[in-house]
């Protein structure tokens, strides 16, 4: 008990590995496309889900709603996203990709797919159990 190595502690291992992977991935598109991780998440979710609200993204993508709101606003300023009032419920804001936003996502997605494929390749047969374990952690909430 008196000897306890942080590097064998699962919460630390998870945090450190996640930080490393995120940094590596972020480098690939920050320089080229100028977007941050929160912005990347919003873009991808909009591409996947169409016109959705801040609340929806917040619920699906593990981001505080203020984080979503600010990331979305930066994307609006950059011309990748447009904001409309929701028909029927005027509290909601519909976010959707602009043509430029679609084009940007189209350029980034192949990079993301390649990145993930390379990562899985280095993990070999542990890749799928890793994904299962992460999914279980997210489900067991």
Partner DNA sequence: CCAATATCGTTGCATTTGCAATGAAGTCAA
Partner DNA sequence: TTGACTTCATTGCAAATGCAACGATATTGG
Kindly tell me which of 93 and 120 has the beta carbon lying closer to a second copy: 120
Q: How far apart are CA 16 and CA 72, in angstroms?
A: 27
Is 69:54 a contact under the CB 8 Å cutoff? yes
Q: Which does residue 99 touch among DNA, a second copy, none (CB within 5 to 8 A, set by kind)?
A: none
Give Dmax (Cα) for the chain. 61
To a second copy, the closest distance from the beta carbon of 130 in angstroms equals 4
Residues 6+ apart with CB under 8 A from 100: 79, 80
- At 105, which helix (H) or strand (E)? helix 99-123
To a second copy, the closest distance from the beta carbon of 83 in angstroms equals 21
Strands (E), the chain: 81-85, 93-97
28-67: contacts with DNA (CB under 7 A): 36-38, 53-56, 58, 63-67
Kindly tell me which of 37 and 119 has the beta carbon lying closer to DNA: 37
Q: Which of 32, 34, 50, 62 contacts a second copy by CB under 8 A?
A: 62
Residues lying near DNA in the complex (CB under 7 A): 19, 36-38, 53-56, 58, 63-70, 72-73, 83, 88-93
């Amino acid at each position: 008990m008196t000897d306890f190595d942080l590097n064998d502690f699962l919460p630390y291992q998870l945090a450190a590995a996640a930080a490393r992977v995120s940094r590596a991935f972020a480098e690939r598109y920050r320089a080229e496309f100028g977007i941050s991780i929160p912005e990347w998440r919003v873009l991808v979710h909009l591409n996947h889900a169409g016109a959705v609200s801040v609340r929806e993204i917040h619920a699906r993508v593990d981001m505080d709603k203020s984080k979503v709101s600010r990331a979305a606003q930066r994307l609006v300023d950059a011309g990748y996203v447009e904001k409309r009032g929701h028909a029927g419920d005027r509290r909601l804001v519909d976010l959707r990709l602009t043509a430029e936003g679609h084009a940007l996502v189209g350029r980034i997605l192949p990079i993301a797919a390649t990145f993930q494929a390379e990562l899985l390749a280095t993990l070999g047969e542990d890749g799928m159990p890793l994904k299962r374990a992460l999914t279980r952690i997210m489900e067991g909430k």
